[in-house]
Structure 1
């Protein structure tokens, strides 16, 4: 694909590096010549110095031959305007980085009116990752699939666990909790186990199960699952906003510390 990435900050750099490694033809654009030079040299991509909200700049960067524009500057309004111009000029697919809580709440309307193919919100994604770990503090990692209906958690089997020395085919008769142990890591080796595989204490296992069953499962396999009720957040940035909002919706008590009184009152 021919892709233009508007914005040469951390997000733009990461996207350029990843997409270039996947074999796509990448052009990066930014108003900062030094930033364009750094990204184009490091990622071996084409660089263009210009304003992504300018029709002329997009045209000169090759928008008419572009399949996808990703607007990843640090200004939401600039990203959305760049996508609107790209849709009108090049009829390509567009992705906008949208960080503002206000715009995020109206993203359905904005996508329809501006013709956005997709919006991304790194701050919101980071907050949701924190939320998953807070909901299951005993797990090493928590990933969500099927729109939150299924969770993949990683944990280490403790000494004395019912799983220690257990053949996988005997799992349900012993634990009586619906879960699928899909990956086992032992001594640096990763295994997809079959029914004859014998688990041992110290194994790192990845398990899929509904979120509602996680704490029950952990307790049954010998891992104390203490439910977190109170959370203290230090800092009043955008990630803190999304995290506090998600925690409150989950029924947790939240306190937030922010040195800026006006921002604190706003939150």
Structure 2
């Protein structure tokens, strides 16, 4: 899953792809590099981020979704907490709603997902983006995140969303300390045990910089690829990344080692 932020203030690539032509070109490049999904976001969810209106978010994302849908066979994901944005994006060709609030922020989001039949990603986040990193605490971060996701899955399937529509994301970096993030990566198999595809989003995140003696955002690609390999070994299915080529290549090698018979027949070539 390639990350395409059309925002001025995202933590890693804010302001790089604000114009539609540049954003579409970047999305198509990620598809060529191996992305099966392009995740388009028009509102930053970095720590401390302020929200934007639905109208502004739509102004940013809708032309990009429309053109990517017309020019590519990749799946298009819309990264939003707003039902109005999700509904318009799905109508324009998006087939995945990636909601960092796990469909809790907007009461109408559940209806959008249930009636459209699109896939949705439920993510764990403590608090909201503006305050989520204010001294987060857990007694058992892996157990609490797994329990939250299991509860949300049961809740939304009780309101008409089919279980097969749902992906789960433990929310690395969303209301977690460095230690919490490492514990979640170490216990990722517990999230996979819930029986739905797991989305792993570690790309360029601050905890990687902390582990690398303060490495800057642009210096975290190799570390991100390491977590992609570890995630694959633990059962994750979707890897949300900025640097598609590096992570795609790391994933192909990991899968070849995990499934050598398939690799020998070339079955992993198009992963």
Instruction: Tell me the TM-score normalized by structure 2.
Output: 0.32
Give the number of the structure whose alpha-carbon radius of gyration is greater. 1
Structure that is richer in strand per residue: 1
- Determine which structure has greater relative contact order: mean sequence separation of CA pairs < 8 Å that are 6+ residues apart, divided by chain length: 2
